[in-house]
Chain A
């Protein structure tokens, strides 16, 4: 046990006295930035794709769009996140002749990736809303898009909020792979502390604790949101 308290002392020494906490805070900030912005981009892309996929397909344009969306979803669900990060950083960026920081790349890829997953979540949400809601909107003269925005999507989001929360939690945890493209997230910060003290046990334990804490906070937030959205279901 004496051994373990030594390890803790070493960790505290680097964490507090050698400014390890600055790196951790930076990593935490990057992790959260990537996850939150990724989720926002993902929701926008996902909602768009889901809407395209439920448009009645009589005409050519919806069919073409639908084909494109299936390809998109197929690609991003068919390859691992790491592969997408590497492809974006080492193939897409050089081809486009641009430069982006690791965090920016991670935000883009997380957004594109979660967009594919959220589109499927969103689609099931839209399909879970009674088709009569769309009909009623159309019957009073609103067009497809307006009815979608004002009536169907709010109800769909309410139905899928728990699943959407899961997706966010997944995103937060998956940020641990962004060091592949040089973004400094939580993992990088604790890895730094570990390699400076030649002692990895405590840093990685603390890292796990922080991830768990993050997830607990997010879950609590989702629960609160759910409760306020369920307002319209109450029967008294």
Chain B
């Protein structure tokens, strides 16, 4: 599904990623670990072009999204992202946070469909029989889109047990609650893959569990996930592929059993001995 080919990233003169290649299939749970400053977060942020890659290709669903000419916004809809600091929209209530993007993008699609129908209808007057262009179906109005999105958002909130928090502002939530809302916010777009950038690093220890539990549940449902984390236990339990990145390169990758049980790279051995 995602095919990363020789990905490179420079910040000014410093090269942060030095040619990373990895293939991610549908349903994969990929965990990326590495010492701080190794480039693992940059790697993740390059995957949805939050940082523009300076070299290489990222083939996502058949399109090279590292290409500057591609409309990245279209592809980001299919790629959720969860941040270390949650980044919930502070000026929106919890449910608005979840609804904002789906409602806006569906309304945008609706406007576009109506516009193109309008012109095609005029054009069709001058076209004959088979040349007539087909009109796009306009199924739902704005109010209906909102109502549908609200229902979806509510059922997502119910799933994480926060439906009673639907109308409060994020400032009133605990860190764990914020992160779970952030996760369902990305779920609301029905993404093909979700990128997690150290999702538990900013949490109090007692809140790490609830977020990891939600992520495990997603994993069981077959969601494709790419996770940068320091939670080795989680990596071992959930991942089906673990990458070790240091100095902008993948030094070792493999299944968690092999990766943790029988590491080959000396740097990885050293790293694991420190963190385990």
Contact = CB atoms under 8 A, between A and B. Distances in A.
Interface of A: 58, 130, 132-133, 135-143, 146, 150-151, 154-155, 158, 231-236
Contacts of A135: 50, 83, 87
Give the interface residue-count category, chain B: 20 to 34
Given A141-B77, A141-B105, A150-B104, A136 B171 contact: no
B248 interface: no
Interface of B: 48, 50, 52, 73-74, 76-77, 79-81, 83, 85, 87-93, 100-101, 104-105, 169-172, 182, 185-186, 189
Contacts of B104: 142, 146, 150
A169 B48 CA distance: 45
B77 to A, nearest CB: 4
A139 B50 contact: yes
Contact of B89 (A58, A136, A146, A234): A136
10 contacts: A130-B85, A136-B81, A138-B50, A140-B80, A140-B185, A141-B101, A141-B189, A151-B100, A232-B93, A232-B171
Given A130-B87, A135-B83, A141 B169 contact: no
Contacts of A158: 91
B209 to A, nearest CB: 24
Nearest to A56: B52
A150 B90 contact: no
A139 B48 contact: yes
Q: Quick one: which of A138, A140, A234 has the most chain B CB within 10 A?
A: A140
Given A151-B89, A151-B91, A231-B169, A140 B189 contact: yes
Nearest to A136: B87
A142 B101 contact: yes
A140 B99 CA distance: 11
